[in-house]
Structure 1
Amino acid sequence: MTDNEYSKKHIEAQLKELPRQPGVYLMKDETGMIIYVGKAKSLRSRVRSYFRKNDQTYKTRMLVKYIDDFDYIMTDTEVEAYILEANLIKKHQPKFNIRLKDDKTYPFIKVTKNVDFPRVFKTRIVKNDGAEYFGPFADVDAIYKTLDVIKDIFKLRSCKKELKADQPEERPCLNFHIDKCLGPCIGAVGKEDYHELIDQVCLFLSGRQKELKQQVEEKMKEAAAERNFEKAARFRDALQAFEKLSESQKVMTDKNIDQDVVALVQSEEDTACAQMLLVRNGRLIGQEYFILQGTEEESKAETMASFLQQYYEQAAGIPDELLLNTEINYQDLLAERLADIKGKKVSIQYPQKGDKKKMLQMAERNAEQNLKKEDIRSKYEEKRTSGAVEKLGEILGMKNDPYHIEGFDISNIQGTDSVASMVVFKNGRPSKQDYRRFKIKTVEGPDDFSSMKEVVERRYARLLREDKKLPDLILIDGGKGQLSAAYEILELLGIEDLPIIGLAKREEEIFKPGESKPITLPHHTPTLQLLQRVRDEAHRFAVSYHRKLRSRRLTHSMLDEIPGVGETRRNALLQHFGSLAKIREAKIWQLKEVDGISGKTARKIYDYLRDNMRAY
């Protein structure tokens, strides 16, 4: 039975066992890479629909062509599936999903309110750690400008020290002496006064300047009445700064309401722009825009719904009203999820006239302009990479320019869980659907040369056997040793004329087979940068796969050691929580919610992981 026949039989068997519960399904290609994530009210009917010979879009037909396997996660409700789908799309960035461009993690402003003297700073990681987060922001410059204003007005600390209210230091830093910091490190400002300022910062970041101004005015009068003129002067200066800031913010409505105005504009290609205007307390305080990819053949309703789903699962704040320029799919699910996060109902509207319609039109104009900018940038990048490809062919003396490059790397730690990666770049850009991952099968111990031989032989022997097109160029991560090992296999396969090079990390030298002297290029040249991108992407892909296998091995090993936890319970735990780290964080009552886990077993799991986790 061929691999393809086996895959079809396997899928057919899985389809018969699909449950009728809601959940999320994950479509995978032959390498195990997740290429599509979807949600379903009924997993059985939704997943089966992909394999019926009915009227499907071109995109769906292409997806089904690549499906080699699928997995699914059952949930209790459709809303839970909706949340999980957004998180999995963000994590895996599947090729066939609508997705935020480049897998960016957008920055937030973090306020560490859970310490004696909180800090306010930029971060791209949001945790459930007691801090407050504001964002996300598409424009990093806007964050830095906001932080500068906060520092000027409130004179908060910028150091990363862990300060305790009852443990003042002897000397302050320079910022205190130049009146840029209130000096909490030496006790020059008390914990309560400092937290008052932090509360004002949070109002400021929420866009509630009117509320904040009232508070600051009251504090100024109180300080003056207490004859604390230095403190009163600080509040006076803050009020003046707020006045200037308010003048620069456009009043959008006379209602003290928070709104997100979202306009979606699609290009003729496979991209779209979601433009957001952020209205807080009736004032326009900023804008963000997001480029979406994979939107070809998708309706505006589907594209908008997918964007809002991904955006609000990572957003730190939810508005009172959501104004959209196109109706969306799954509106009830979105409304339920937003209400759950905010704690009260969120209004979703499609204005057709009046001031709200004018705001949407302004957002649309900005979206159109941002799409034009993206198109110009993409064309410039395409021209730049195309030029680099042609120049590379010239430097290497190739007959044909290397439009199709395959890059290899090996990853292991002391010989365990050895893996290899192969990445593909076409016309200077990653072609992720063509990436491949390999478990090393014939090599024991940390032998990168032999591992490289194995993976190169497996890759190109298969291409020759299936009579498929060979790449224009092979790039090996490493110097002469790794290159010689790979070239030896090409000779055995009779394709020694296939261009192959090695790129050594230390000096970024390019090696060719049979030539002792390397080729060196200036570091700023697009040609070398192209090779570095291929090499670095192969390294990233190999390391991520190695970590995944190692984590899986350690997870299974640790769970198998717990008395009373066999394969069935281990799989149930992993399916319920997703990872060993989440299982370890779970409380006993949460462990008891897993099928097959009694109260007694939950206690054993809880105690064992806390007593033994440090060893891992």
Structure 2
Amino acid sequence: MSVQEKIRMLPHKPGVYLFKDKLNRIIYVGKAVDLHKRVSQYFHPSKKFSGDRKLKALVEAVADLEFYCVHSEAEAVLLEGRLIKEFRPRYNISFRDDKRFLLVKVDLNTPFPRFQITRLKKQDNARYFGPFASAGALRTTLNLMKKNFGLRSCSAVIPTEKDYKHCLDHIIKNCSAPCIGKVSQAEYYQRVQKACEFLEGRSKEMIQEIRQKMEEAARAQEFEKAAELRDLLEALEQTTKPTRRFAKQLPKALSPLEDLEELKTVLSLPKLPVIIECFDISNISSLHKVASMVLFREGKADRSSYRRYRIKTVVGQDDFACMEEVIRRRYKRILEEGGKLADLIIVDGGKGQLSSALKALHSLGLSNLSLIGLAKENEEIYRVGCSEPLILDKSSGALRLLQRIRDEAHRVANAYHQLLLKKRMKESILDECPGVSENRKKLLIQSFGSVDRLRKATIEEIAAVKGIGKKLAEKIFSFLASRN
């Protein structure tokens, strides 16, 4: 079934949608109040003329989609956040840090329990409620709950008369003041239990009371008061509405250790590849030739161990020679410093890159290290001593792990190349030349390699660069001549 056919079948319900690329990798996770309307918007003809390059790239990469219906927008927010944290899709920005949803904590083992907002659930025998999607609604609910049940908000483990002297909550009737014996410990505990039932959604008295007051205010034409009560009611209902668990129907989350076990099996490795290093070359032009090395430890990125290289010995564009140089440099240094060697080495490319890497390892006496090449086009895995590539199922955890590592190496290499190019462009005298935009400057630098070489070029040679006409070439020629 095509993507367009699946879109037409989407229900008009709240939920979460997952976009996948041709390799069945999740590249974007989104939420929607109306799945059909939201997903359809991505593929509307008008989006082709949108100026958002990221959105265009996303839509062009979509080869398949999945969706999961939920009961409310709050559930959609929670499920979206969970999936983004687990799959880390390349087109998602929100939720990619370690920030967690809000929880409410109450330790019923203390003499006078208090309700607190937290983001981390600990194994401390306390009781936790949540997670809650809306921080504003949660804080509004807690404030009203404390006032209604007379719960304390002071931070002391056991409040005393000293705390009472510095507190106004009892005076404004926001607290039952257990610190000075206004209520007994047993009575206060009953209040806490009722508050717990309310947070669980089992007690509806407060909600019914507020709804009744809202209706009375509306009948009395006290519309501002009615609006405030309406907003309060929405916050309460949003917070106390129970959310479902999604464990059974969700796609399989990332499991690095399981993927490593599978990778060991399919590649017939002598041991579990705890340390994996992957190399990629960014050789877009002869101007800057760079390489990246990313290290994954136990299936997870170890960014502090990443390395970036500027190719020193290779003339012209030669990916094979670049790969040989960077492999030799990397492992020669490890041998000199007595560092730990990788359990598996991955090179981005096919037979040519694999042979170049193997040649470098042979020269260092490291031919016994496990080495593979991963070719992008069909995700073919090339192995030393095997003439035919290994092709894994697209849903294979081992392949997904290799793809994550390779894509990270590619990202780091390209980012380094762009950084060097931007630095060189910023230093260019062409910044002051009329009619030369950032894009044209980039094309000129890529074509000639440096401003000095550009100075020696003829008007015809400058005009031959894409995007540079004869008129502009004459201006550039005259400008550089005047700056000699």
TM (norm. structure 1) is: 0.36
TM (norm. structure 2) is: 0.44
Query: Rg bigger for which structure?
Result: 2
